[in-house]
Structure 1
Amino acid sequence: MEEESEEPYETAQAILDPDTGTFTDEVSERLEYVGSALLVMDRVTLDPPWRGHGLAAVLACEAIPRLMAGCRAVACSPGITDKAEWDRVNARIAQGWERLGFRPYRDNIYLLSPASQDLEEQRGALRGHLADLGASWRTDAS
């Protein structure tokens, strides 16, 4: 069984007021009021051969709209657990999340407002990217 991640707890601590359990005033100022829940994207895990092709962003872009009903915010803390190439890889991961509309908040926590159109705008482009990857894979497999 995999280790449980403490990142969702740390993310919630940075975003939610510990006394009330609601969003902090600072976070509330950044988000439109469209709900009250918080969705924390803990991790997107791909087997090594699938990494580096932008699939995590494609998959997250498809999953988020299905999971965000009633959410005022979607949060993530982009990064890798392998420390070997931490800075380089984290920068690329953060760029991928920013393409989806996540914006830096603090302490490597990124927020996405479900009211933002960024996610939906990127969805078509990412679906095209996925189709191109699939076509490339079929060509290579032939």
Structure 2
Amino acid sequence: MGRVGETARDESRQLLHEELREALPLLELEVRLSAPLTELGGLGSRAVAQWTGEGVLRVSALDVEGVWTRDDVAVTRREHDGGVVELVVATCTGLSIDLGHAAEAVEVLDSFVDYAHFLPLLDPHRASGLAEDVEERCAGGGERLVLLDRVELAPAWRGMGGVGRLVVGRLLGWLATDTRLVALQPFPTQFSGAGEVPGFAEARTKVQQVWGSVGFTPWRHHIWCIDPGSRPLVDALAQLEERLGVAEDQPGLASDSGV
């Protein structure tokens, strides 16, 4: 009986993924940047901009039926006048740092727990603003460091072969204009803190492997980095597009920048 139930669940999930895959080419990417006009202190430094990226499906309220009524197909839903419903499939957040003002950026990162672990990447005493062994990883130029903090993919879209990685990779492509390096600290979100609890090491390794599959490589302090113009990232995204069936129909982009 258990095997029958498991088989039925697998078949149901396969049908769900087939329907979601058909909608994938309609996914739109949105990037929002926010930075102050004047110095405000804290994250008010002009050296640092906060960014948010989303993968969004827009559907008519009249079409919200069947699979689209499921709670797990969206991280959040937004209803607008005119009967349009936005299903936010994926979200990611982070910071964009002006390396020309690395000293200010150090002060900002040092004051926020969520970003303090990225401090070793910066060296305000160097012309590049980056630590020497980080700069060696960068083949190109660029005046910005992009930090990727949190990524969330709606549960229904997981296990499809890389939807989350494709969304993040394409968002980084839009963010990476004039960017020298992208960095993140792979961490399994089901755990809080880095305590040695059962399953943590295995879960962290799995997350690291996911980011490694698109070209990120380990540095120090559990930080992983990538040159956004690197061949491994370009090739990995092309393979994901082919696997997911969107190689010819690229998702759109609606950019709303607060800067």
Whether TM exceeds 0.5 here: the answer is yes
Match of 2:142 among 28, 35, 55: 35
Cross-structure match for 2:120: 14
Cross-structure match for 1:140: none
1:79–1:86 contact (8 Å) kept in structure 2: no
Query: Matches of residues 34-73 of structure 1 in structure 2 within 5 Å?
Result: 34-53=141-160, 54-73=162-181
Q: Residues 131 and 87 from structure 1, CA distance in 2 versus in 1: closer, same or farther, beyond 3 angstroms?
A: farther
Q: Residues 68 and 88 from structure 1, CA distance in 2 versus in 1: closer, same or farther, beyond 3 angstroms?
A: same
Match of 2:240 among 92, 108, 126: 126
Bigger radius of gyration among the two: 2
Q: Quick one: percent identity of the two aligned structures?
A: 27
What amino acid is the match of 1:91? T
For 1:93 and 1:55, the matched residues in 2 are separated by 15
Deviation at 1:131, TM superposition (A): 2.9
Deviation at 1:124, TM superposition (A): 1.6
| Gap runs ≥5 in structure 1 | 133-142
| Gap runs ≥5 in structure 2 | 1-93, 95-111, 192-197, 247-259
Q: Normalized per residue, which structure has more strand?
A: 2
Instruction: Tell me how large the CA RMSD over aligned residues is.
Output: 2.5
Number of positions where the alignment pairs a residue of Structure 1 with one of Structure 2: 128
Q: Normalized per residue, which structure has more helix?
A: 1
For 1:30 and 1:94, the matched residues in 2 are separated by 18
For 2:180 and 2:135, the matched residues in 1 are separated by 9
1:31–1:72 contact (8 Å) kept in structure 2: yes
Cross-structure match for 2:132: 25
Deviations 1:79-129 (A, max 9, x none): 123226422222121112111111100111011012311111111211123
Match of 1:74 among 177, 182, 197: 182
* SS of 2:225 mapped into structure 1: strand
Match of 2:202 among 85, 88, 98: 88
Deviation at 1:31, TM superposition (A): 1.5
What amino acid is the match of 1:71? T
For 2:212 and 2:244, the matched residues in 1 are separated by 18
Q: Residues 85 and 129 from structure 1, CA distance in 2 versus in 1: closer, same or farther, beyond 3 angstroms?
A: farther
